[in-house]
Structure 1
């Protein structure tokens, strides 16, 4: 989202216009999420398809099974962008306007969230396969309260996995709980030299907070502190850029290559790294993402035409993330109904990608963007034209 209100100097706050490199990174992350949800063992794993005849099975497994890591990439990006926007808008984090900050988060997040919960409740009531909440200890009321109360991750850790369309909301619970407390922490600490060490401790705690939760697989994956550690990593990068001279071109190249190599190692090479680094692989993942973000923000790249479609995925990442499981269930259902051989499974990925992007674009055009513009005009007194410019997908 682009800031649109006047800064303290009265100028329009467009300094953080869309960055194609960051959109590309977000696009890659949402692609990995979709690959993961399509390729779970009970659905259409690539390793069982004809692609295994020409590509290494380890590579196909890495493509299918890094959706969780992709969400942590999103966490780092979110912290980086939201803190960066706040610094551009208010000069320092100590000057955050609580009302404006919360209004922006609400306008961006809540309309789609409410619509999704309503649709899922209706499908549950109709008894649609894949949408009915039927595990012991779970109920539609409990899931709805957890989703809207931002503790669906805790609810799943206590009761087990929810159906797929509900399950994606675990990351939203972590992110929004963090952003409820973040501006308060900024106002209480007042100084960067107080806030930054606290964020650093949280960011570096990631391997240990995950390791401490090994007794509960779901809670280990979806607990608050590991996700918040990744968000804190992104905020630290925004603070560093806001208080230091921009990196030199040579430093940007080093950060870009180092971040790229680190991300590839943490995802595609995770099979070899986990026995060596254990939970430290997650720290490699978040640190590499931050290195890339600093480089991309300091020296925005020209994205090749062939990769620009990924930027559109990045711009629509929130809408695609919330809605893509409808497409996944539909495509997997058609695949099973058709009786297709597992070797042809990879052919079903293309329509899944096209439909997921299309559904996300429709949600953005007809729901999230109009609602966000209206709420911004109502709560932030943003002019219609400025509100429209501010509410681009992402």
Structure 2
């Protein structure tokens, strides 16, 4: 019997998938909580009486797994949008693909650099770049070059966390370097099985690369080959979702088991102890959830709770939140240095909502008045140029 034709791509450009936004929201909240607890540890604060200090540390220490979720989601959406736009991976137009990525990525990146550089020049030390042997201006230019050439992870490997607020760009460096190859692989290999085989090889390299760099945090957490496997798994999941619909009883049984496994892995040990196969397992679990959510782009969530709607809304702002939240946290650390805030009372716990709300407001303003309008304008102009040519 011949196989049935594949289903239409599960994601349509311009339409949001609320379940994926929910997953994004969880990922960015894990990252934000992780970074806050690095600055203001909560283990012995009032929150510790609710979760115990060990429970707080278990939630806070593995925020990098939130970035793993982002990698898988990014690979899934890029591949799904490509299939929806062109019908097949081999039909991709590299010029348009790169232009769309630039329209989404670069405006916020340039704004982040402008804000961080401006705050550094204003004399706020936490936003300055500190590289031994270089003047502050030369160090700033070196950090800007790394940010603009998508090599911030390499910069961190050489200079450690020389610039506090720009450190988050390591993951953007990983994503964009992967996406530089995305159209090239599709156009060279052309056949979908060969493209899938390439992505499978990339996914297989990841754990072995991490295994060989266990003595180097920048190697097993931030290096390109240590992180590409999550994106590749997301790309493969998008193709699988066009051939296999995971819903009904199978989804109701599988999804809770996958979520329970991901939560157990997250809380079990630190990512330093579990990253070799843990990153791969977290990525595969995320891929299963994405496949199960893929054909619900416009459908309602199963619950209408305010909490989940709030997390979903956070997910829609995840890019802006990720890039700009350390500006809020850096300013908070400047005004209220961690050493001056009590570790045992409610003071640190009270700063958490201040940080989250401040980050959310900044991200919302940037999204509404800068990144989204500019993204739409750039894409519309590109569309007119494409039609004219």
Q: What's the CA shift for 1:100?
A: 1.5
Alpha-carbon contact 2:203-2:230 (below 8 Å) kept: yes
Is 1:353 equivalent to 2:356 in the alignment? yes
The equivalent residue for 1:194 is 194
- SS of the aligned residue for 1:174 comes to helix
Q: What's the CA shift for 1:382?
A: 8.9
- SS of the aligned residue for 1:134 comes to coil
The equivalent residue for 2:252 is 253
- 1:72-87 equivalent positions in 2, closer than 5 A: 72-87=68-83
Structure 1 gap ranges (5+): 1-12, 384-394
Alpha-carbon deviations, 1:238-284, whole Å to 9, x = none?
01112x1412412222332132112202212235x986x66211111
Alpha-carbon contact 1:112-1:319 (below 8 Å) kept: yes
Change over 3 Å in CA distance of 1:170–1:28 after alignment to 2: same
Is 1:54 equivalent to 2:57 in the alignment? no
Alpha-carbon contact 2:128-2:163 (below 8 Å) kept: yes
Structure 2 gap ranges (5+): 1-10
Alpha-carbon contact 2:210-2:219 (below 8 Å) kept: no
Alpha-carbon contact 1:20-1:302 (below 8 Å) kept: no
The equivalent residue for 2:337 is 336
Alpha-carbon deviations, 1:184-215, whole Å to 9, x = none?
10110011111111211211332211121224
- Range 100-109 or range 157-166, more displaced: 157-166
Supply the distance in 1 between the matched residues of 2:63 and 2:315 (Cα, whole angstroms): 15
Alpha-carbon deviations, 1:2-23, whole Å to 9, x = none?
xxxxxxxxxxx94772111110
Alpha-carbon contact 2:130-2:163 (below 8 Å) kept: no
Supply the distance in 2 between the matched residues of 1:259 and 1:172 (Cα, whole angstroms): 27
The equivalent residue for 2:263 is 264
- Range 213-222 or range 287-296, more displaced: 213-222
Change over 3 Å in CA distance of 1:76–1:337 after alignment to 2: closer
The equivalent residue for 2:280 is 283
Q: What's the CA shift for 1:342?
A: 1.3
- 1:1-394 equivalent positions in 2, closer than 5 A: 14=12, 17-40=15-38, 43-136=39-132, 139-242=139-242, 244-270=243-269, 279-299=276-296, 301-306=301-306, 307-336=308-337, 339-343=340-344, 344=346, 345-381=348-384
Supply the distance in 2 between the matched residues of 1:14 and 1:84 (Cα, whole angstroms): 8
- SS of the aligned residue for 1:135 comes to coil
- Range 61-70 or range 29-38, more displaced: 61-70
- SS of the aligned residue for 2:64 comes to helix
Supply the distance in 2 between the matched residues of 1:111 and 1:257 (Cα, whole angstroms): 38
Q: What's the CA shift for 1:120?
A: 1.6
Q: What's the CA shift for 1:122?
A: 2.1
Runs of 4+ in 1 over 6 A off after TM superposition: none
The equivalent residue for 2:6 is none
- Count of matched residue positions in the alignment of Structure 1 and Structure 2: 366
> For the aligned residues, what is the CA RMSD?
2.2
Q: What's the CA shift for 1:338?
A: 9.9
